[in-house]
Amino acid sequence: MIHSEIFAGGLKPRARRRHVAAMAAALCLAVTFGSGGRALANDAEARTTFEKFIAAQNAHDADAVKAMLWNSPGTLLFARGIETRGRDAVAARFKAYYEGTWHLEPDMSKFHVAVISNEVMQVLVPIVFTRGLPGKPPQQNTFLISQTYVHDAAGWSVASIMPVANTELR
């Protein structure tokens, strides 16, 4: 009987332990299902996503790059003063870059992540770009790259990419 577990001072010790255990289980379920049943966003996830994206770029694998881009018309690449929006258009722009020299060397010792929410992270990292038009000598330039990642049913995706000429983080 439920009433036998209650006494003047509150719950009996055994009932109190069951109550605390039930509350802890409910809290655990709320955290698990409230975060989509996955771990919370973190630096390791950002680093893994970033390194995979850089590897696909350096392999000139346009299909792998496209697969990592957020499937949204809002996907943004803003580079060389040109705004490119949408997954297909951004992937096509990278594919055009791959026709010439294109190689990225990030300085991972300066890799920074801002976890904005469980579904959004921003990465900042300086990268040396070695690039050149087909048949032309390549040039090297360093940019601070800002990438925003979003998490949806497909996992982590690159939602925006913006190189900044000033690479000094202060």
Domain boundaries, the chain: 2-34, 43-164
Architecture of domain 43-164: Roll (3.10)
CA distance 126 to 108: 8
162 to 1, 25, 86, 110, 154: CA distances (angstroms): 65, 43, 14, 17, 22
Mean pLDDT on 21-30:
38
Mean pLDDT on 138-145:
94
Q: What is the pTM of this model?
A: 0.74
Q: Strand pairing partners for 9?
A: none
* Length in residues, the chain: 170
* Confidence check: pLDDT of 35 > 60: no
Nearest to 125 by CA among 86, 82, 90, 168: 168
Output the pLDDT for position 5. 47
Q: Helices marked H in the chain — which ranges?
A: 13-34, 43-58, 62-68, 87-97
Output the pLDDT for position 20. 40
Under 8 Å CB-to-CB from 55, ≥6 apart: which residues?
none
Chain segment 120-141, per-residue pLDDT in tens: 999 999 999 999 999 999 999 9
Confidence of residue 146 (pLDDT cuts 50, 70, 90): very high
Chain segment 65-74, per-residue pLDDT in tens: 999 999 999 9
* Confidence check: pLDDT of 83 > 80: yes
Mean pLDDT on 93-104:
95
Question: Which is it for strands 101-106 and 112-117: parallel, antiparallel or unpaired?
Answer: unpaired
Output the pLDDT for position 10. 53
Output the pLDDT for position 38. 47
CA 39 to chain centre: 13
Lowest-pLDDT choice from 3-7, 94-98, 101-105:
3-7
CA distance 35 to 29: 10
Counting residues of the chain whose pLDDT is more than 90, the rounded percentage is 66
Count Cβ atoms below 10 Å from residue 159 Cβ, excluding itself: 21
Mean pLDDT on 84-107:
96
